Chain A
């Protein structure tokens, strides 16, 4: 068999002769990002011959090159053919292997959706698909490179597990803890610029969401990189004398509804925060869980509305959509201030005017 793309043992790539400090190539662009999967899987594969990794042209960007360099015989390369890669992974899994295939979330979950359903979930095969750069973290690359529908779409797929680590330690914990899981898994991963939330892997329990901050007033339910923003929001609220709890829902499917509802019952209000449409994602699952448990704590689903995101630098987009710490804190205050709120506060608490104010500071002239 011809081996896959040749990766230097140290993962190094060609370097051009750049003279200006502002210049950068793909190596420079990717520098500083932290993706745990390549190294974790390479370590696991040192002792587990079932593990194979497949990539589709984003090997260096996603740091799976680390695996390819250490285990070239178990690194499979598919070129820019994501659906074929997912199908091939299913075939590999039927022979007793545990394939991990990786590309951006928009090209795994969105482009490959039917392959998820038909090739992985229907036959319940132990394939793991990593979708990196989820949500709007690709920023100015635009809607084709955003994935703001993947949670809603994939929660509808039976047999599938959906995991959403917020940082590299959480990624490692979830990868290590699910090697022997009997079924397919989607890992929803950020763009590798996440600040650390967890210090050690044992701070994350697979069987329950993680309470990362405690306060009596509002519960901030978050997933993925919104966990960091919610922790920042909790700090801001504390300065105002408002107690906020932050819950990291690292496992979206199966959804830990009872744990979420139990915690919600102990607060005056709940804000769900997701880098995703509020139609069918974390917020929807939370509302359903509270209704099922008979918990009447008012909930607001914060995230993207039924819309595509603007183009812009990721940090500017987060501010524009109220998904930065300050924006989330504002939304929480407004929910707590609401007189006789309904169980689901559906009107946007981060308003068009809020967006316009951010735009006036950061946006280009209309």
Chain B
């Protein structure tokens, strides 16, 4: 095994630990609100953790740093997965997490860029994020900056027609610095996306719109890091090339084994003994997968 791969293994191990910690932090956050988006938060936890601890160049002490990479949380309802990460990185004090959803808090259950350091755009209305991201991608390039722009979408969100307006624009324009990630957790509020209004094959639909499209295991840090690296290689090699989309196959509520894959857990609350069961389940995560990664 080369040194590089050994280092990668350490990085993956660190990211897995963070993913577990951040799930547990999310459970604490939800305690304050008495309501949480467990399903859509836990499906994208590996994506968020790998982005913030493995890819994005940001400065917690200078949130508006002009050369930073941008992150747009298109699926704004997953913000309670992001808040503990931002606090951990130092964008705001941990104590702020305890105000989540309370009267006057900066931390609502959809993020507000004017209130929360580290949030690059306000979101919550689905279908807007990719358009916002194309504007950011154009803006940083017009200013000659090397910034990446990453937009996280849900698979249900792809029902919104505006997503495809933005998809057409981004490839036509050659926004190679734009990375969209679809958290394909296969459910929306009403049930399975495959039953309700399927947009599969998502990767081929984006490819037909001129994007480089790739499916990845959205719970594998190894796979996500490799895909990020390929994205960076492509935009370096072909600055005016196509944008990239990673269709990340994920499981809603991943880590809490008794709610995994259930549309009924878009929003809910786990109290008392169920919370203890959830914690125990989360702590068991990666005990087998980490072997596979090696």
Contact = CB atoms under 8 A, between A and B. Distances in A.
A91 B122 contact: no
Contacts of A124: 114
Given A1-B240, A87-B132, A94-B139, A114 B125 contact: yes
Contact of A96 (B120, B143, B165, B174): B143
B162 A84 contact: yes
Interface in A80-109: 81, 83-97, 99
Nearest to B119: A123
Contact of B131 (A74, A76, A83): A83
A47 interface: no
A95 B240 contact: no
Among the interface residues B128, B166, B175, which one has the most CB atoms of the partner chain A within 10 A?
A: B128
A79 interface: yes
A26 interface: no
A266 B136 CA distance: 51
Contact of A92 (B124, B128, B139): B139
Among the interface residues A83, A95, A118, A119, which one has the most CB atoms of the partner chain B within 10 A?
A: A95
Contact of A52 (B125, B131, B140, B142): B142
Contacts of B232: none
A356 B245 CA distance: 60
Which bracket fits the contact residues of B? 35 or more
A78 interface: yes
Interface string B194-218: 0000000000000000000000000
Interface string B133-146: 11111111111000
Contacts of B134: 84, 88, 91
A87 B173 contact: no
Contact of A84 (B114, B124, B131, B140): B131
Interface string A106-138: 000000001100110011100000000000000
A361 interface: no
A84 B166 contact: yes
A119 B130 CA distance: 12
B286 interface: no
A95 B140 contact: yes
B66 A87 contact: no
A134 to B, nearest CB: 24
A84 B165 contact: yes
B247 to A, nearest CB: 21
A13 interface: no
B277 interface: no
B113 interface: yes
Nearest to A159: B114
A118 B142 contact: no
B165 A94 contact: no
Contacts of B139: 91-97
Majority DSSP secondary structure for residues of B touching A: helix
Contacts of A84: 131, 134, 162, 165-166, 169
B114 A88 contact: no
Interface string A1-32: 11000000000000000000000000000000
Contacts of A89: 135
Given A87-B128, A88-B131, A96-B139, A123 B173 contact: no
Contact of B66 (A79, A93, A96): A96
A111 to B, nearest CB: 11
A289 to B, nearest CB: 29
Contacts of A83: 131, 162, 165
B128 A118 contact: yes
Nearest to B149: A91
Nearest to A115: B128
A94 B101 CA distance: 26
B234 interface: no
B165 A91 contact: no
Contacts of B174: 1-2
Contact of B169 (A86, A88, A92, A118): A88
Contact of B136 (A73, A78, A86, A95): A95
Contacts of B140: 95
A1 B138 contact: yes
B121 interface: yes
B132 A119 contact: yes
Nearest to B133: A91
B122 A87 contact: no
A59 B175 CA distance: 23
Given A1-B141, A91-B134, A81 B168 contact: yes
28 contacts: A1-B141, A1-B173, A2-B172, A2-B173, A2-B240, A78-B165, A83-B131, A84-B165, A84-B166, A87-B128, A88-B131, A88-B132, A88-B138, A88-B166, A91-B131, A91-B133, A91-B134, A92-B135, A94-B113, A94-B139, A95-B139, A95-B142, A95-B143, A99-B135, A118-B124, A118-B125, A118-B128, A122-B122
Interface of A: 1-2, 52, 73-74, 76, 78-79, 81, 83-97, 99, 114-115, 118-119, 122-124
Given A78-B165, A88-B166, A94-B120, 15 more contacts: A1-B138, A1-B141, A1-B173, A1-B240, A79-B168, A83-B162, A84-B162, A84-B165, A87-B132, A90-B121, A90-B135, A91-B136, A95-B135, A119-B132, A123-B114
7 A-B pairs closest in CB distance? A91-B135, A95-B139, A87-B131, A81-B165, A84-B165, A88-B135, A92-B135
